[in-house]
Structure 1
């Protein structure tokens, strides 16, 4: 018969406790267990990954930019490289290494041959920004050149006749900057009279608000003509930089904050585009050279009528003969200007003379060259 194990026998519980504690005591005497080594291994792995990430040797996706180590080909004791570096001239270095790039290809110049920098000029350039590059606007024909000269002269006179020479130069530079920019017409007359086919909606408001009803004065017209001729022949006015917009100091249009102000010259504040659109590499549109017929493309009389700027009640329309013609040798009458032609011989009684259009004698339009209230927004970009 199989003997039975009596669990209630005296001394059995003590023996069982001693048997269970024996392995634990042996393990404690033997050293750390498996769980300890697993935790230590995990800690080492985490530290290794963190070290690799911080050193840049291992960057999985999502942990930063990818980088590649490129071995250096330059040796610390490379006699060829040292000979190139210590050469007296570029020609001597080129004999050692024919693959050297040409320094003149990137526009380097001899700094010792340049005049010392003017601190005032550097300060102005830092404020205004880069200047426009010199460009000669040559028309395809003599007629194109005359049209470009007339359109630019008109803009200088009606926008800045009361300004100094620099004030006119700023307007001229702005017009020509637009000609070279891809966002505007690529002709001088196209820029000056852009939008003048609509009353009150144009780029230069003198061309669509009836301002050209004022006959120009000889002195200021000749001054504008001289400055326009110099600008078309390549003269650059750095005082406004790459400005493509301006407005009078009496207003601040809503588009002013979207542009970068370059300078204040006389009564005008000049602005250029932000970002690359206002940097020198953007002004590369070729000049077409074929000038359109000068504007305004809406007759001045219609401009005045549509804008309700007709003669003041009680101010009669004078006949053309009552208006003094331009002085001899002066500029030709402007298209759309209601001024008298030069006096000619009386027609034959047998020929019926065509009726002469009236000339406006509105006193609001006879302040030549002054900035009147109705012309305060001249040059503002009208949407």
Structure 2
């Protein structure tokens, strides 16, 4: 709803490109703060109530940006929107880790597949309602009502037990003691490496979101509609692959998925950069999406299983660093491109993926998790 309405909201509020860039950074900063706050709440209360609260909060504030009348009111709306979105990003991934543990087999990529599908459906709804001149406020208000319905329907089925903290209703340690215990018991080196890989992967992913369409338009002089096809190819392959990659993870393990997925993504971006015609560049962006599809889910699963006693904070740290990477990616590409060329700037994504490939072993499960995974893959596993 928000991304697809950005052009309309920019026109309604009168913000120029420079102001919009600053507002998007404000949105990202607010989301990052929400992630860190939410991580502590998850460790104290469990991911179920935090997920429900964050989802309701996001549903309530989704209408705020389209009600903004100038840059100041839009800034206030995006602070609230970003904070709620950051909270939900962390809490729903923490909830997904709990459910994946109960399933005893990889299912995280499918969760992210529904996330990607939601983006496609949302952008399609916005396109249809804009074409039908339904009205922006009415469209977003209906989406908010639908969101409340989805939350009410799904809330009772969310997992209430948090691995490592006992039942979500049990009292948690005092904040200062819990923080100290978390920092001294968590595998700090592995946490840092997971954060670095998340930053690199989401930097590469952010590159596609912001530059794929423009790359085809500027490099080949193609129409904007052709550029949109490039982003569509990336989104479509990523969405489809996320729904089918979980069995692959179960068969070959997360390390191989990150390693070879990163290599496939590198091949894709190189095809796009070196392509002599727009059709081949579009294929390259599609391959890029196919390679990236299953990588971030493995990072989030590894982060959630890194510390059984405080998975909320480990996930919030890793997701937060990944989010910073997604914000930094377009800026890095833009900085390099302004001094060289866009094709050269896109090589930043290649460097990020090579780093992720080199650090792929960081997602390897520990002995207990590996044993559980092996049991899940055995013939008598359910």
TM-score range, shorter chain: under 0.3
Relative to the length of structure 1, the TM-score reads: 0.20
Relative to the length of structure 2, the TM-score reads: 0.20
Q: Rg larger in 1 or in 2?
A: 1
